[in-house]
Amino acid sequence: MRRREFIKLAIAGGGVAAGWPLAARAQQPQVMRRIGVLVVFAETDPVARSLIAAMVQGLRDLGWTEGRNVRIDYRWNAAEHGRALALANELAATSPDLIVACGGPATAALAQATRSMPIVFVQVIDPIALGIVASLARPGGNITGFTNFELATAGKWLEALKDIAPGISRGVVVFDPENPASPLYLRAVEDAAASFGMKLVRAGVRDGGGIERAVAAFAGEANGALIVLPNPVTQFHLDLTITLAARYRLPAIYPYRFYPASGGLMSYGVDLIDLYRRSASYIDRVLKGAKPADLPVQQPTKFELVINLKTAKALGLTVPEPYLQRADEVIE
């Protein structure tokens, strides 16, 4: 064989041989990772679906696409403790690579259901007080995630009410007694009330009828206001809660933007869409091998004050111009 022909054959053979590994790699199917998601809200709740969509979009931006390299299994409506624990055990039994806990009741239930499976929580107020993590900087165990409030926010809720309706002296605090975070919120609001000269009445509610009875009973006296704590019950009965505040002419403060966007007076709280989108970064890191114990709990970075000016006018309230300028969003 001539030298020139030998070289051609050698090069050709080398090219084919070198090409085989590339072709093999290209044909290998991607490993399908599995995520479980436990949500306190109902599957039909449009707000909850928008939050989950933000998280899924965040995952997509990081290269995780449903049906291609990740499968997501959901369990909804885990607000009540008994139901949350049953759904948490059911989800853990499917042995996903990671579970996302959306809300305090879901996180508390998953903490009971498994101590080994990685968990990333979203929308939990104080995971240390709830016994979920050892510390924010070093969570320890199998759980980490994203908090949604600082307890000092409770004072800002009352401050906002007094700024927009200086004459109020009473407030009914609507909360979900099944939510493990409710005692923390209640304590913070009640501690702040004295400095604003307000007397508060607790109203634990479990359904729409409970909300209606609580607001109606409170509204019999003048100078009252409505304080809605973060909870799945009033979110599920959002329209009813807002309608009752309007019917009884109660200035109301809510924890999230979607309340004034739906006709409530005003809200001050974390941007939940941003929070859920950010949660994708920790899901991504855990799926790539990071341990929850080594990922510090992240606190909220983006809060927003939203005022519905149309609702304020309907209540006969004049919102001071400086206050409107401070708002992140004014709904006309």
Q: Compute CA 165 distance to the chain's CA centroid, rounded to the nearest angstrom.
A: 29
Rounded Cα distance between 75 and 65, Å, is: 19
Q: Of 255, 295, 253, 252, which is closest to residue 271 (Cα–Cα)?
A: 255
Name the 3-class secondary structure at 235. helix
Domains and CATH numbers, the chain: 33-149+271-302 (3.40.50.2300), 153-270+304-331 (3.40.50.2300)
Given a contact cutoff of 8 angstroms between Cβ atoms, the answer to whether 82 and 60 are in contact is: no
Neighbours of 327 (CB within 10 A): 18
Q: pLDDT at position 29, please?
A: 55
Per residue of the chain (332 residues), what is the pLDDT tens digit?
444 443 344 434 444 334 434 444 444 457 899 999 999 999 999 999 999 999 999 999 999 999 999 999 999 998 877 899 999 999 999 999 999 999 999 999 999 999 999 999 999 999 998 899 999 999 999 999 999 988 889 999 999 999 999 999 999 999 999 888 899 999 999 999 999 999 999 999 999 999 999 999 999 999 999 999 999 899 999 999 999 999 999 999 999 999 999 999 999 999 999 999 999 999 999 999 999 999 999 998 889 999 999 999 999 999 999 889 999 999 98
For residues 114 and 118, give the distance between their C-alpha atoms in angstroms, rounded to a whole number: 9
Q: Per-residue pLDDT tens for 163-212?
A: 999 999 999 999 999 888 899 999 999 999 999 999 999 999 999 999 99
Give the global pTM: 0.86
Question: Which stretches of 127-180 are assigned E, i.e. beta strand?
Answer: 143-147, 170-175
Residue-level pLDDT at 180: 86
CA distance 283 to 143: 11
Helix/strand number for the chain, H first, E second: 13, 12
Q: Among residues 235, 228, 210, which one has the least CA distance to residue 77?
A: 235
- Joined together, the tokens standing for residue 318 give 């004049």
* Percent over 70 (pLDDT), the chain: 91
Q: Do residues 139 and 295 make contact, with C-beta atoms less than 8 angstroms apart?
A: yes
3-class state of residue 263 by DSSP: coil
